[in-house]
Amino acid sequence: MLVPVGKGIELDVDVTRLNTEVMDHVVKTGLRNLTMDSHASATQKADPTGYIAKSRELAERKLASLYSGVIRTQAIDGPKAPTDPVAMVILRLARKAVQKKRAKELTAASKGDRLALLNKLATEYAEAHNSKLRPRAIKIVELESDEAEPAKPEPKAAKRKAA
């Protein structure tokens, strides 16, 4: 699993090497952070009497969405998308494929959940079809990263004097 740790650094983590106690701690910390972030907008200043109930509702809604397999990420906290250009193109190709193949399912989803569902399905598709998408993605990255040669200015035509 590639884990972005900041400053463009990604660590390849073999989670099978983590023992039960460490895995429990990682999951507990991750769930705590996700649910805390989900209710941060419910403040005492905004709603002096109902902010705790609103916080609980938002945290429970986040947990329910996690149970249903929906993950939403905010770009504010740093890059959540892959930082590897090839992986980014693979995900872009996967999104296009999912939008074509699963259009009815995406349309049936509520407007608020549509993007999260698309991202989830695209990620699954990218993982399942990585070997098929990777060669194409590599070519696309090569084409997109080639710098075009600067255009040479055309020679100006000499002005003719009127006779």
What total number of domains does the chain contain?
2
The span from the first CA to the last CA of the chain, in angstroms, equals 78
Q: How confident is residue 17, by pLDDT bands cut at 50, 70 and 90? A: very high
pLDDT score recorded for residue 100: 93
**Closest C-alpha to 109, from 141, 49, 69:** 69
Q: In DSSP terms, which residues pair with 3 in a beta bridge? A: 11
- What is the value of pTM for the model shown? 0.43
What does the alpha-carbon distance between residue 54 and residue 31 come to, in Å, rounded to a whole number? 18
Q: Please check whether residue 128 lies inside any domain of the structure.
A: yes
pLDDT tens-place string over residues 97-121: 999 999 998 888 877 778 888 888 9
Q: Output the furthest CA–CA distance in the chain (Å, rounded).
A: 96
Q: In DSSP terms, which residues pair with 4 in a beta bridge? A: 10
Token readout for 49 is: 């009497």
Token readout for 19 is: 């023992």
Question: Domain limits at 46?
Answer: 1-68
**Same domain, yes or no: 86 and 142:** yes
Q: Given 47, 68, 89, which residue is the final one in a domain?
A: 68
pLDDT score recorded for residue 162: 65
| Distant-in-sequence, close-in-space partners of 130: CB < 8 Å, separation ≥ 6 | 90
pLDDT tens-place string over residues 21-41: 999 999 999 999 989 988 888
Whose tokens are 């990255």? That residue is 141
pLDDT score recorded for residue 108: 87
What is the arithmetic mean of pLDDT over 134-141?
Answer: 91
pLDDT score recorded for residue 101: 93
37-46 long-range contacts, CB within 8 A, separation 24+: 37/77, 38/62
User: Residue 53 above 90 pLDDT?
Assistant: yes
Q: Please check whether residue 158 lies inside any domain of the structure.
A: no
- Average the pLDDT over each of 35-44, 51-60, 89-98, 144-153 and give the range with the smallest value: 144-153
